[in-house]
A and B are shown apart, each in its own frame.
Chain A
Amino acid sequence: MNITRRATLSTAAIAAAAAGLPGIARAQAKQVVVGTWGGDYGELLRQHIDTPLMGPQGIEVLQDVANADPRKTKLLAERQARRGTFDVACLSDTDMQMMAQQNTLDTLDFGRLSRAGSIVPALRKPYAIPHIYSALVLLYNPDKVTTAPTSFADMWDPKYRGRVGFSDILYSTNTFAAAMAGGGSFSDYGPAKGKLMELRSLDAKIFPSNEALAAALKGEEVWMTPMWLARGYMWQKAGIPLRHVVPKEGAYAILFEAALPRNSRNKDNAYTYLDAMLKPEAQTAFADRMGYLPTVTDATLPPEIASRISLSEADQARLRSPDYDYLTRAHSEVLDFWNKQFKG
């Protein structure tokens, strides 16, 4: 048999029909697709937003679970597409800024959010709502590190040779800590290079994930690490002996945000979702379980939680926003240095 015109056409028709089917199935229900992390974060969204707040409005929430990096890649890859995967994308402030700069996000119409007035003013951005936040701190094991550290620079004390641990996925944050210890700034990570190599010769340990680092802290294999306060709170709750300090060189807050990709297919439902994320009851759940602070002024925390995760005024004074522009420009170089020199 030769290839005939009819055979070619019918095969093409089958292929086209198969490709079209998912689209037909998708158009029916009232849905919103949320690109989010899995684990506790995704589960808390489900328990405190998806089911109690979105369900009664007849909107089905579909979670597209992945880590931040694949989510960013998806947003970038779909930049030119008319219909994107996500209706709402959750990312950290640094990543979100990068995505906004790459023109993947809508400028939000805050008039469509009934909760817009309650947002902590300092956390507000034109392209995203703040969801929860925490501060970068130095975590340490008080049984082993008997003199409480006060600065990132204390990680370079030869007493702690082999006892400083880093999470590989926080390469940018770790580089920042090294830069600050070496006299750098929010806009100059240059001094980090020398400091990281110094720490390398002091046998600093690198772990592939935050969880692996937690296991090493628990086993007292390492005693000190730069980390989010919220993580420290969760690990303390899990029985790991830890204290924290906001380093005197200064540090930044990490803010988890949610935004609307420009090619979102269900924008109305997405706005409803963002509004629900700002409800006080949804926010306090994250404080209780994960130790993150609310981003709205009218969410009150139970006193015992507040005392463990809130920041004193002196601590708050040491916190600043990262220099997003610098981070976008320096990101590639920071990653290269981390991979090739520090880990190499």
Chain B
Amino acid sequence: MAALVLPAGILVSLLLVAPMLLLFRISLNEYSPTEMMVEAMSAANYLRAVADPYYRSVLGTTLAVATGSTLLALVLGFPAAYWLARMQGRWKSLATILVLFPLLVGNVVRAAGWMALLGNGGAINAGLRGLGLIAAPLPLLYNTGAVVAGIVAVVLPYMVLTLSAVIESIPRQTEEAASNLGAHPMTVFRRVVLPLALPGVAAGSVLVFVLCMNTYASAVLLGGPQFKMMAPAVYDQFVRGNNWPFGAALAFILLGITLVLTVAGSAMLGRRYRRRQSEETT
């Protein structure tokens, strides 16, 4: 049976593990403007990134945007996922396709659409000016709101599909039983559906949070030149600054923090779910 893992294993080690090891080695080198990089074994790049208030604020923005977008996707996605999970018959597959539909459009194309909508000469501003409601265009683009809106539009299908798969596995009878015993619909949601859907909440949030932490296109195109998140900062160091060692160190800091937070987050939700289950069985 182990041989079944071999093709995927070889592919992953060739295309993911090997480049990552190389990148980690590069992150320990020193930058040189004339020779690009000098072989070294030092943690200087990591220390510089951590000590620099600029990169700390970039990391802060990234964490805030990723957390906010994940929560928003959860709040918006849960009702839709519930509706999808409880749907019956032939409309269900159509609805699933509709949820998937946004994934058919690439991130960049989607962001370009948002730009056409939100820009100073974009559809919304042009419409409002045409109606005489505003004199000067509203600054809808190049701010945190535009980035969060762009990201949520990208990640929402992942959240909805992950949640609905889990909600589907919750027997409908449990909700009916609660209602029969006189529980208000909100109580049913809070005491029955949500606790049982916790594994889905954890899986969806982890997936979405990782995607949000690594946002590039939405941050660059909708956030504008003054909005900084980690992925564009990494790109800046590699491609504009030619400083590969520092760019690699930033990439590993982003990777490390994302990893720690997702592991901690899912462990916390997992513990809560198990505790509730054991409470119910005892």
B225-A207 in contact (CB<8A):
yes
Q: With A2-B3, A219-B121, A332-B33 in contact, is A340–B238 under 8 Å at CB? A: no
Verify if A328 is at the interface (C-beta below 8 Å from B): yes
Is the Cβ of B31 less than 8 Å from the Cβ of A76? Answer: no
| Measured CA separation A326–B184 after assembly (Å) | 73
Stretch among A7-15, A27-35, A82-90, A234-242 lining the B interface: A7-15
Check A221 for interface membership: any CB of B closer than 8 A: yes
Q: How many residues of B contact A (CB 8 A)?
A: 30
**B36 to chain A: which residues have CB within 8 Å?**
76, 102
Residue of B nearest to A4 (CB): B3
Q: Is A339 an interface residue (CB 8 A)?
A: yes
Q: When the two chains form their complex, are residues B6 and A8 in contact, meaning their CB atoms are under 8 A apart?
A: yes
Does any Cβ of A come within 8 Å of B171's Cβ? no
A102 is contacted by which of B1, B31, B35 (Cβ under 8 Å)?
B35
Q: Are B120 and A221 in contact (CB under 8 A)?
A: yes
The answer, yes or no, to whether A50 is at the interface (CB within 8 Å) is no
Query: How many A residues are at the interface, by size bracket?
Result: 35 or more
Chain B residues with CB under 8 A of A328: 33-34
B242 in contact (CB, < 8 A): yes
Are A2 and B2 closer than 8 Å at their CB atoms?
yes
A1 proximal to B (CB < 8 A): yes
Stretch binding the partner chain, chosen from A57-65, A66-74, A258-266, A275-283: A66-74
Interface residues of A in 91-139 (CB under 8 A from B): 98, 101-102
The verdict on A332 contacting B121 (CB below 8 Å), with A207-B225, A343-B225 known, is no
Tell me the nearest residue of chain B to A172, going by C-beta. B240
Does chain B have a CB within 8 A of A206?
yes
- Residues B6 and A3 in contact, CB atoms below 8 Å apart: yes
- B10 near A11 with CB under 8 A, answer yes
| Contact between chains at A3 and B3 (CB < 8 Å) | yes
Q: Is the Cβ of A329 less than 8 Å from the Cβ of B225?
A: no
Q: A148 on the interface (CB 8 Å rule)? A: no
In the assembled complex, B7 has its CB within 8 A of some CB on chain A? yes
In the complex, chain B residues 227-241 whose Cβ is within 8 Å of any chain A Cβ: 228, 236, 238-241
**Most B CB within 10 A of own CB, among A8, A73, A328:** A73
Partner of A168, one of B54, B225, B241: B225
27 of the cross-chain contacts (CB-CB < 8 Å) are: A1-B3, A3-B6, A7-B3, A7-B6, A8-B6, A11-B6, A11-B10, A69-B239, A72-B239, A73-B238, A73-B239, A76-B242, A102-B34, A168-B225, A206-B225, A207-B225, A208-B221, A208-B224, A215-B121, A219-B120, A328-B34, A329-B33, A332-B33, A332-B241, A335-B241, A343-B226, A344-B228
A15-B14, A73-B238 given; name 10 further pairs at CB < 8 Å. A2-B2, A2-B3, A3-B2, A206-B226, A208-B225, A335-B240, A340-B54, A343-B225, A343-B226, A344-B228
